[in-house]
Structure 1
Amino acid sequence: MLSAGVKAADWGAKVANASKVFKPSGPGPFPVALILHGCGGKTPFLETYAQVAVEAGWAAVVVDSFKPRGMSTLDGKLFVCTGTTLQGLKRSGDVFAMLAWLESQPWADSERVFLAGWSHGGWSIMDGYAIGVNAARATGIADADPLKLRARVKGVLLVYPYAAYPSLTSSRGWGSYGPKVFSVVGGKDQVVGWKYPKTALDRLQRDGLAVDTLFHADATHAFDDERANDPRAKYRPDLFSQTQGYFAKALGVARTL
């Protein structure tokens, strides 16, 4: 598990060692998309999104938040999905850590980063912005740097993000300085719903952030994961394809910022 007071670069190296990197051809440096999985752990469909990033000229890292903590997929389903452990606030430390790790990678343009999170991964990204100056105390990363987060991240994609209590965005916002936000919300999502994500996104808009939302009226939670084992999830390859295109669009916009 993550011990309190660990350095961002040290924890980032451990997380990166468990994660999977995808890169375009050539030496780089490339802008980098960090992809954060849901509460069930790293699953294959996220690698499809990583390939979308590569085709758009970005490197991508599918971040594994479980293995460095000695957690299995079953642990995730039993304890993370139920909110017993590793809530979004604590897991947001992985974002700060990976930003620090990218500084040591010659293929990475560490000044140009895109964050993409699915469900619990979206919650983690959102809390990373909401905690502000309390980042080090809240995450356990001794040198977590909220200014670096805001300066280097050019865009954020939140796909059916968990935004109910104890998620912080609806109550705290991110302040008026933040990245352009892209979001995907399902109208038939029985896991995180659509009202809580909308409330959080509305808060960001009121604070002055640019927010774009792709609303899939017929989408359930995990509509893009063919292997989702939640009986409430219905795989929709058509919506999966549309969301890949939306991700590519978001990366294109972020690359110009």
Structure 2
Amino acid sequence: MDDLKRRWARLEPHMTVVGPDDDRPRPAVLLFHGCGGLRDHLPRYAAAAKAAGWRAFIVDSYAPRGWGRAFTLTAVCTGLSFRGYERAGDVLAAIQGISARPDVDETQVTLGGWSHGGWSIMEMMSAEPLPNTMGVTNPGDADLSGVRAVWLMYPYIGPFAFNRMKPWRHCPRVLAVTCKRDHLTTQRNAEQVNAMIRNCGAEVESWVAVGTHAFDEPTNNGPMRHDPDLTEEALRRFRAFLTDVAPHV
């Protein structure tokens, strides 16, 4: 099992950085993909962050492990392996590694998670950072004080998300996107989870998008259908959220 430093050393070479062409400390948003891996929509969110004056860091959890899309669709997307509470160590390592960069304002970090990525963020927020939990040996060494906001894009909150109603230990501002036609959760379940986060003291804004799960991903797979217009609205809201979190970039 990795410690945070070694986990970051594995993740960093596969990370994509998008942002203004300068070296001054800027707010950072860390983007965590869904169970299907990196797809074409995350670079669009990274570009929206850049337009808002932020640095975006797309964190690939699969390339460092040598996993291809065929494997992850059959193993991760089915819940057989690498559940959110195991991937939470990637989130912690990325927070620690990216916050230490000289071109990042360590007091202005936002986390963005899509489906499985959102699940992983939520597990990280709710779990006790005991040794050898969340897939790393020293989760308690990560400092969450600079995490100011979380963007949850149709996070997985289904049967395997055992801790979805567990209070968070760090409660930043949240924008939670629920899909009205999400086959993985009911709107009621999502509202209950959002209410739990609010009860922790977090400011939680919710948006019910009239689409399917993964509506912003430019593919159609099973019950999931791409909606270009809804995707544009999501990108607009994402940029507005970042601008509101750090208005003086």
Shorter-chain TM band: over 0.9
Name which of 8, 14, 21 aligns with 1:18.
Answer: 14
Query: How far apart are 1:213 and its partner, in Å?
Result: 0.6
Cα distance in 1, alignment partners of residues 6 and 172 from structure 2: 26
Q: Which amino acid aligns with 1:152?
A: G
Cα distance in 1, alignment partners of residues 21 and 124 from structure 2: 31
Cα distance in 2, alignment partners of residues 64 and 78 from structure 1: 18
Which position in structure 2 is the counterpart of 1:205? 198
Which position in structure 1 is the counterpart of 2:69? 73
Which position in structure 1 is the counterpart of 2:150? 156
Q: 1:69-116 CA deviation, whole Å, 9 max, x = no partner? A: 121111110000000110000101111111221244222223321000
Structure 2-normalised TM-score?
Answer: 0.93
RMSD: 1.8
Structure 1-normalised TM-score?
Answer: 0.90
Cα distance in 2, alignment partners of residues 44 and 245 from structure 1: 17
- Residue 189 (1) aligns with residue 185 (2): no
Name which of 137, 147, 160 aligns with 1:142.
Answer: 137
Which position in structure 2 is the counterpart of 1:34? 30
Query: How far apart are 1:169 and its partner, in Å?
Result: 4.3
Residues 42/193 of structure 1: CA separation in 2 closer, same or farther (3 Å cut): farther
Query: How far apart are 1:202 and its partner, in Å?
Result: 1.4
Cα distance in 2, alignment partners of residues 86 and 132 from structure 1: 19
1:40-119 mapped onto 2 (5 Å cutoff)? 40-119=36-115
Name the SS for the 1:114 alignment partner: strand
Contact 2:171 2:197 in 1 (8 A): no
Name the SS for the 2:105 alignment partner: strand
- Residue 251 (1) aligns with residue 245 (2): no
Contact 1:33 1:114 in 2 (8 A): yes
Q: What fraction of aligned residue pairs are identical, expressed as a percent? A: 30
Which position in structure 2 is the counterpart of 1:219? 211
Cα distance in 2, alignment partners of residues 133 and 9 from structure 1: 16
Cα distance in 1, alignment partners of residues 221 and 185 from structure 2: 13
Residues 178/207 of structure 1: CA separation in 2 closer, same or farther (3 Å cut): closer
Residues 169/203 of structure 1: CA separation in 2 closer, same or farther (3 Å cut): farther
Contact 1:132 1:174 in 2 (8 A): no
Residues 168/147 of structure 1: CA separation in 2 closer, same or farther (3 Å cut): farther
Q: 1:151-183 CA deviation, whole Å, 9 max, x = no partner? A: 1111000011111233244331214x4100101
Q: How many residues align?
A: 248
Query: How far apart are 1:64 and its partner, in Å?
Result: 0.4
Query: How far apart are 1:18 and its partner, in Å?
Result: 1.1
What residue ranges of structure 2 are gaps of 5+ in the alignment? none
Cα distance in 2, alignment partners of residues 253 and 56 from structure 1: 10
Which position in structure 2 is the counterpart of 1:235? 226
Residues 196/16 of structure 1: CA separation in 2 closer, same or farther (3 Å cut): farther
Structure 1 runs (4+) greater than 4 angstroms displaced: none
Q: Which has the higher helix share?
A: 1
Contact 1:29 1:106 in 2 (8 A): yes
